[in-house]
Structure 1
Amino acid sequence: MKPFFFISILLLIGLTTTRQASAQTNNWAVGFRIGEPSGVNIRKYFGNNHAFDLNIGSFGGIYGTRRSYRKGVYKNVGLSAQGHYLWHGGIAKSQSFRYYYGFGGQLNSRRYYPDRFSAVNAFDNTISVGGSGVGGLEYFSPNKPFSVFLETGLYVEVIPAPFFLGLQSGLGVRLNL
């Protein structure tokens, strides 16, 4: 609860502080993302059109906590860490509207309920690793140090269930530092 409170205070300060309008493409950004995965979002911009994006939070809650997986099901929300190397640029000549896309990886931890344990409702804690891709749009508010983004992507698991696919999308806010 403390990290959410801290981020909320930072965003509130950012919303009330005026600044020259710019796309903040050479700085850090921190915020939160609601979607799959949901959680804290940190972005580091570098160069003219590159960034690294990190999401740390929960996985499996938006599209339903119960999902068929291997020879069993997931019945809960798990933890996730996701990182993407991004390319980004302005839409037309606007510095307020920007696009981005990128590729990276994801690590998840969830409870897996195998069919063989269904009589006793037992589970295994499962760690999964896979690749992911993302594409999105971001709006940088004029005279404010925050941005709003909407993105979608795909997760393709490698271990332990090769080719398990997960649609991912999210909406969020970042404070550009």
Structure 2
Amino acid sequence: MKKTFALLILWLVGLATAREANAQTNNWAVGFRIGEPAGVNVRKYFGTNHAFDLNVGTYGGIYGNRRSYRKGLYKNVGLSVQGHYLWHGSIGKSQTLHYYYGFGGQLNSRRYYSDRFSVVNAYDKTISVGGSGVAGLEYFLPNRPLSVFLETGAYVEVIPAPFFMGIQSGLGIRLNL
């Protein structure tokens, strides 16, 4: 896994130095997000100020994999799929620094350890669904197809634990295709 990740980073750096491109927000971008959730990030820009952002990866690793949840605990890292419809624009006259914000949903899969089964350390696989919001800044490297971003947001669960809330944040890098 570490070898694959290192090769992918080298490939992204190679692409960034091999060809030139101005900051573009009217196409696809793919990259990595470190944070919560962490994983692969794909973004599709469309129109003059809209985009759709998809994260597929892990949930529960950054802010702790042991959390109170319903009448028990989460004790692990799980799978997460998160999608947001975004509005974005440039800050001032700069074409390299952009803001964005948006809303969407999130699906998580984790192990739930109920207090009633704590003696035997049994767990249930839990699928949770909820809404999420995000706001961030993205910097497009001049004359390179790379951008870096920093974002924060929140997740509010609907099923199975209504109003369970989690703060989310992350930083990452994207290759703009």
TM-score bracket for the superposition, by shorter chain length: over 0.9
In 1, distance between residues paired with 2:122 and 2:4? 32
- 1:34 maps to which residue? 34
Query: How high is the TM-score relative to the length of structure 1?
Result: 0.95
The normalised TM-score by structure 2 is 0.95
Partner of 1:89: 89
Counterpart secondary structure, 1:127? strand
Deviation at 1:81, TM superposition (A): 0.2
How many matched pairs?
Answer: 176
* Match status 1:59 vs 2:59: yes
For 1:10-46, what per-residue CA distance to the aligned partner results, in whole angstroms no more than 9, with x for missing partners?
Answer: 4122331241422x11110000000000000000000
Q: Residue 10 of structure 1 contacts residue 175 of structure 1 at CA under 8 Å; is this kept in 2?
A: no
User: Who is 1:175 aligned against?
Assistant: 175
Q: Cα distance, 1:166 vs. partner? A: 0.4
Partner of 2:17: 16
Residue number in structure 2 paired with 1:50: 50
Question: In the TM superposition, what are the counterparts of 1:110-125 in structure 2 within 5 Å?
Answer: 110-125=110-125
Matched, 1:105 2:129: no
**Secondary structure, aligned partner of 1:106:** strand
Partner of 2:119, secondary structure, is: coil
Amino acid at match of 2:15: G
SS in 2 for 1:13: helix
Task: Provide the C-alpha distance between the structure 2 equivalents of 1:98 and 1:142, rounded to a whole number of angstroms.
Answer: 13
Q: Report the identity percentage.
A: 76
Letter in 2 for 1:173: I
Judged with a 3 Å threshold, the aligned counterparts in structure 2 of structure 1 residues 29 and 39 are, in CA distance, closer, same or farther, namely: same
Cα distance in 2 for partners of 1:10, 1:150 equals: 22
Distance 1:7 1:41 in 2: 14
Partner of 2:151: 151
List alignment gaps of at least 5 residues for structure 1.
none
Deviation at 1:4, TM superposition (A): 3.6
Report the aligned-residue RMSD. 1.3
Q: Residue type matched to 1:77 in 2? A: V
Structure 2: runs of 5+ lacking an equivalent: none
Aligned to 1:126: 126
Output the amino acid matched with 1:62.
I
Q: Which amino acid aligns with 2:141?
A: S
Alpha-carbon contact 1:17-1:145 (below 8 Å) kept? no
Match of 2:163 in 1: 163
Distance in 2 (CA, whole Å) between partners of 1:6 and 1:128 is 33
Q: In the superposition, relative to structure 1, how do residues 134 and 9 fare at CA in structure 2: closer, same or farther (>3 Å)?
A: same
Note closer, same or farther for the CA distance 1:53–1:111 as it changes in structure 2 (3 Å cut).
same
The letter of the residue matching 1:51 is A
